[in-house]
Amino acid sequence: MLLKKYAYLILLSLSILLGSAVGVSCQTEIDTTSSDNQKVNIKSAESMVHTRVDGNEIDSLKGDIRLYQDSTFMFCDTAIIVNKEHLVAYGNVIILQNDTIQTYCDSLSYESGSKQAELFGQVILINGKEKLNTNYLKYNLGTKKATYTDGGILTKGNTKLSSKRGIYYVNEKVAYFAKEVKIIDEDLTVSTDTLTYSMEEEKATFLGPTIVTDNNSEIYCESGYYLVPQKSALFEDNAQYISGAKRATADQIFYEGGVGDVILEGNAKYFEGKKEATAVKIVYNEKDETTRLTGDAFYKDGQKEVASDVINYNGKTESVTTSGKTEIYEDDTKLIAEGIEYNDSLDLGHAFGNVVWEDTVQNIKIYCDDMYYSDTENYVKAFGTKARPRLESLMLGDTLFLVADTLVSLTVTDSLGSKDIFNAYENVKIFKEDLQAVCDSLTYSASDSLFVLYDDPILWSDSTQMTGDTIKIILGNHEIDSLKIFNNGFVINENSDAIYNQMKGQNVFANFIGGKLSDMILEGNSESIYFMQDENDAYIGMNKSLCNKILVLFEENKISDIRFLTNPASTMSPLDKLSDSKMKLDGFKWYYTNRPLSIFDLK
């Protein structure tokens, strides 16, 4: 260090200078120019004292001092030059290089051979629009390499970089910072231990653990870069994002501060309270509070789980949309569709495209083109644009199929509690291997295991057709246990081609065993037509009866016996004496063409 090496000579020179030793004084222009590029050349000073000590040539200068070496100019109030190679300058020290580089300090120690300087006090190095502030700086005027070790601030525009230690390559406009490094750029702050900074690109490259703070969010990484003008960055190696309750990790995190995008790529994971999301890529916009997940996207909120190709979430409107095959699981329900739109604040969702909704407890599935649903209300409304919605319910290994223009599932609460209700509207059709039906509308109560068919329903069980104003079907152990027909009950049992046993009454009550008709009671103004057969199944006559209450027994899907329970009035007629009209009760209609014979008839 120059001050230590020449301390004796410098102190001696100072004493001579302060004592006004013999020499040139009171001159405004002292030119001792040697034109030696390896020496410190004196242009002028107000006073100069030249001495020789121990073989060393010492120049002591005072007042408005101007020095130069090659194209570098120096100014100060007091200077001591030893052998024109070693310079110590004090007071308002200024160094000028080229047209853009200016350096200011309180004092200076300089060696002309190596062009190495040590600057003390309030040091300022200005390089065009760049400014470095520190209290101590090692600066090579040849290589233009500036090094500080006790804190410094490098500024360009609104961006400030501070650190405990730093190296600033002035020509290359590149800086290396270490220890307690911070970048402050308007609303953004970067804190790290080590980074390099390109002044021209205004690009910071992180070389160690780094935290970037922007408003209320933080990003952590162990390598990456930040471009100040674009406010864009790449964070890698253990990259993490934190904003309030929001937390995210990924192989890479890209930050686009101008538009507010945080982009997570590779093993992207996002957490917020009970919410969590994973995807190949996640894009979160801080301004709009929107999140977009693409590639194996998965989103979970409490009990709800959503998987899709693309998932979009809007934090302001609390809405979720998806595109591509989507699967949603919540409690005991599952929903599959090509896309969904769901508003959490309204608790209303719309699923579209090959929709499948499943209640795993009730063993019910609904297939449709479109569906509206509500999670908290347990509400589902299915309808179709290309095909009518279809319900499938598994019953002891057999499946019940049902189609209608509209299917609705909901939970109804009354004084007795809550129950799950299923409704079907307009042109309802049901197919099961041993049961088929059509009606205008239908209601099913899962808790009561009860189907109610409205508006002229028609029900078929094997060779028996049943009609009435309303039909109730009661299930037991997932198969038909009994049914009730209210008002205008009409039962037709096809015995053989064009031979129909018929019964009608105000109300009809039927029981099933093993899913097959066992017995039936007709009440209220009941009538019947029954075709009697001998042991060889040959028809021997027709029995027509009037009775207020009739019991009908079935075996192998055919009437085995009819019993008239109250005041019957019967007539027996041979078949050859009867016309076709006499063989039918009033109101007889055989709806064979209406009957769904397979699932392909459910249109």
Kindly state the tokens that stand for 371: 């569906």
Average model confidence (pLDDT) across the chain: 87
Q: What is the pLDDT of residues 301-326, one digit of tens each?
A: 888 899 999 999 888 888 889 999 99
CATH number, domain of 74, equals 2.60.450
Query: By CB neighbour count within 10 A (0-12 exposed, 13-18 middle, 19+ buried), where does 165 fall?
Result: middle
Average of pLDDT values for 41-66? Answer: 93
Q: What is the pLDDT of residues 258-280, one digit of tens each?
A: 888 889 999 999 888 888 889 99
Domain assignment present for residue 545? The answer is: yes
Cβ-proximal residues to 151 (8 Å cutoff; 6+ apart), any chain: 134, 135, 162, 163, 164
Are 532 and 515 in contact by the 8 Å Cβ rule? The answer is: no
Per-residue model confidence as pLDDT tens digits over 338-396: 999 988 878 888 999 999 999 888 788 999 999 998 877 778 999 988 889 999 988 76
Last residue of a domain, one of 92, 117, 142: 117
Distance CA(115)–CA(549), nearest Å, equals 125
Indicate whether 21 belongs to any domain.
Answer: yes
What pLDDT was estimated at residue 8?
Answer: 47
Q: Look up the CATH number of the domain holding residue 453.
A: 2.60.450.10
Domain total of the chain: 2
Domain that holds residue 558: 412-603
Q: Does residue 581 fall inside a structural domain?
A: yes
490 in any annotated domain: yes
- Residue 220 inside a domain? The answer is no
pTM above 0.75, yes or no: no
CB-based burial label for 200 (10 Å; 0-12, 13-18, 19+): exposed
Q: Which of 88, 117, 146 is the last residue of a domain?
A: 117
Hey, which bits of 83-202 come out as E strands?
86-97, 101-111, 116-127, 130-140, 145-148, 152-156, 159-163, 165-169, 174-185, 188-198
Where a domain ends, among 117, 140, 169?
117
Q: What is the pLDDT of residues 420-467, one digit of tens each?
A: 888 999 999 999 888 899 999 999 887 788 899 999 899 998 888 999
Using CB atoms within 10 Å of the CB of residue 92, give its burial: 0 to 12 exposed, 13 to 18 middle, 19+ buried: middle
| Structure tokens that stand for 285 in this block | 């916009």
